[in-house]
């Protein structure tokens, strides 16, 4: 929810329907920054929304902040962080501004150029968030998320553990059965999509009496595949997912390749405070891939940006990690591999790219 877009009555209605968590998109606690980043709300709306959430009795809620905004100073950022802590939010998401090409914001500002902060200043913002939130009792469980004990966002955890999920609404992404797909961003197409899903449900009910051993052609084309690009009209063919795309019945999704699955596992696990679980990774992808990744990360273990941990999550030395690598992973001392906090997380893109590059080595 964005501040100013709901009141106590609407929040109460959501809660009565079973909604059990709210994420409040505050972004900043300064009116001048809210205005420059195009937010429709002001600080009064923020205060009012916080009071509504607290008075509702809802205990599971989150607050979002954005750093590296135009003309944002370290003092402003610290002020926003302290205000977020004082709000009592059990969960905080702290994002660094990403300027996307092709957007109005991208036309106004260029990364690293004034009035946007430099990379060094952005790193200072990240470190300041880690410093203040850690002191306030928040656990840095994911690269952009902090929480009080036991209040990790299950929604986020589903992403980072690469579990399947459904997304509903315009532009919503889903990941089901190894297929990634996104619903239409246009209301007209989305409405048509919903109509087609309803017709597919009717068809499914009509064939419920068919034997399980029926022909494949009778059982393909049902609800469950897809929403990328647009409606497939007037043809039947095999999609990349291996399922039949029927006439106006479904939209096409993309099944991940094996290498993409491995890269997802590396990227998502290294974004987490818990890190990559060695035994699980080995069991899923094999000894050779694990060895490649470990050897690629070895220099960064020695520099302190990557941490090997034992089964009790105690940090091991670089020497221990070298022994682990030289034993061809037979030494079971290393149970987890994670990025150090905050310096390793600050280099996460580079470190993840290094791990990716190891997968293509001979």
The verdict on 109 and 181 lying in the same domain is no
The verdict on 164 and 268 lying in the same domain is no
From CA 110, how far away is CA 252, in angstroms rounded?
A: 35
Q: Which of 255, 288, 316 is the last residue of a domain?
A: 255
Q: Give Dmax (Cα) for the chain.
A: 68
Q: What is the CATH number of the domain that holds 22?
A: 3.30.750.200
Instruction: Give the pLDDT band of residue 43 (cuts 50, 70, 90).
Output: very high
From CA 135, how far away is CA 223, in angstroms rounded?
A: 48
Percent of the chain with pLDDT over 70: 81
Secondary structure element (H or E) that encloses residue 57, with its range: none
The verdict on 65 and 181 lying in the same domain is no
The verdict on 343 and 314 lying in the same domain is yes
Would the CA dihedral through 24, 30, 35, 40 be positive or negative? positive
Q: CB under 8 Å to 104, separation ≥6 — which residues? A: 38
Task: Order across the sheet with 22-27: list the strands.
Answer: 22-27, 61-67, 91-96, 145-147, 139-142
From CA 13, how far away is CA 10, in angstroms rounded?
A: 5
Contact 53, 61 (CB under 8 A): yes
Instruction: Answer whether residue 3 is part of any domain.
Output: no
From CA 27, how far away is CA 296, in angstroms rounded?
A: 37
Instruction: Give the pLDDT band of residue 282 (cuts 50, 70, 90).
Output: very high
Q: Is 216 helix (H, G, I), strand (E, B) or coil?
A: helix
The verdict on 245 and 171 lying in the same domain is yes
pLDDT single digits (tens) 50-89? 999 999 999 999 999 999 999 899 999 999 999 999 999 9
The verdict on 138 and 201 lying in the same domain is no
pLDDT of residue 321: 93
Task: Count how many domains the chain has.
Answer: 3
Q: Which domain holds residue 340?
A: 258-360
The verdict on 272 and 353 lying in the same domain is yes
From CA 246, how far away is CA 4, in angstroms rounded?
A: 43
pTM, two decimals, is: 0.80
Instruction: Give the pLDDT band of residue 221 (cuts 50, 70, 90).
Output: very low
The verdict on 340 and 262 lying in the same domain is yes
pLDDT of residue 99: 76
The verdict on 19 and 129 lying in the same domain is yes
Instruction: Give the pLDDT band of residue 202 (cuts 50, 70, 90).
Output: low
Phi, psi at 25, each rounded to 5°? -85, 75
**215 pLDDT more than 60:** no
> What is the distance, to the nearest Å, from the Cα of residue 34 to the centroid of all Cα atoms in its chain?
24
Q: Which of 114, 147, 180 is the last residue of a domain?
A: 147
Instruction: Answer whether residue 231 is part of any domain.
Output: no
Q: Which of 224, 255, 286 is the last residue of a domain?
A: 255
The verdict on 44 and 110 lying in the same domain is yes
Instruction: Answer whether residue 226 is part of any domain.
Output: no
pLDDT of residue 106: 63
Instruction: Give the pLDDT band of residue 160 (cuts 50, 70, 90).
Output: confident
């Amino acid at each position: 929810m964005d501040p100013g877009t709901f009141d106590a009555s609407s929040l109460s209605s959501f809660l009565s329907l079973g909604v059990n968590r709210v994420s409040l998109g505050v972004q900043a606690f300064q009116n001048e920054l809210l205005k420059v980043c195009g937010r429709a709300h002001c600080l009064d709306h923020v205060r009012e929304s916080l009071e509504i959430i607290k008075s509702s009795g809802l205990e599971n809620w989150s607050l979002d902040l954005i750093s590296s905004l135009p003309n944002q100073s370290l003092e402003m950022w610290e002020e926003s962080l302290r205000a977020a802590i004082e709000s009592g939010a059990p969960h905080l998401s702290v994002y660094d501004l990403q300027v996307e090409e092709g957007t109005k914001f991208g036309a106004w500002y260029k990364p690293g150029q004034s009035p946007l902060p430099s990379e060094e200043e952005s790193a200072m913002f990240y470190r300041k968030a880690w410093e203040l939130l850690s002191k306030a009792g928040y656990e840095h469980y994911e690269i952009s998320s902090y929480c009080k004990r036991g209040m990790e966002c299950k929604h986020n955890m589903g992403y980072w553990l690469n579990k399947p999920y459904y997304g509903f609404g315009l532009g919503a992404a889903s990941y089901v059965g190894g297929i990634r797909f996104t619903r239409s961003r246009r209301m007209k197409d989305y409405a048509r999509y919903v109509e087609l899903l309803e017709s597919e449900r009717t068809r499914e009910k009509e064939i419920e009496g068919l034997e399980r051993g029926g022909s494949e052609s009778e059982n393909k084309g049902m609800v469950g595949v897809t929403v990328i690009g647009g409606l497939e009209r007037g043809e039947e063919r095999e999609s990349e997912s291996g399922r039949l795309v029927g006439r106006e019945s479904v939209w096409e999704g993309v099944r991940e390749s094996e290498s993409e699955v491995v890269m997802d596992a590396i990227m998502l696990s290294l974004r987490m405070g818990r890190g990559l679980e060695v035994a699980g990774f080995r069991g899923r992808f094999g000894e050779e891939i694990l060895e490649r990744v470990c050897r690629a990360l070895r220099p960064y273990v020695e520099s302190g940006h990557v941490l090997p941990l034992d089964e009790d999550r105690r940090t091991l030395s670089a020497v221990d990690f070298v022994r682990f690598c030289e034993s061809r992973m037979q030494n079971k001392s290393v149970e987890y591999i994670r990025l150090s906090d905050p310096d390793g997380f600050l280099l996460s893109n580079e470190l993840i790219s290094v791990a990716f590059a190891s997968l293509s080595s001979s």
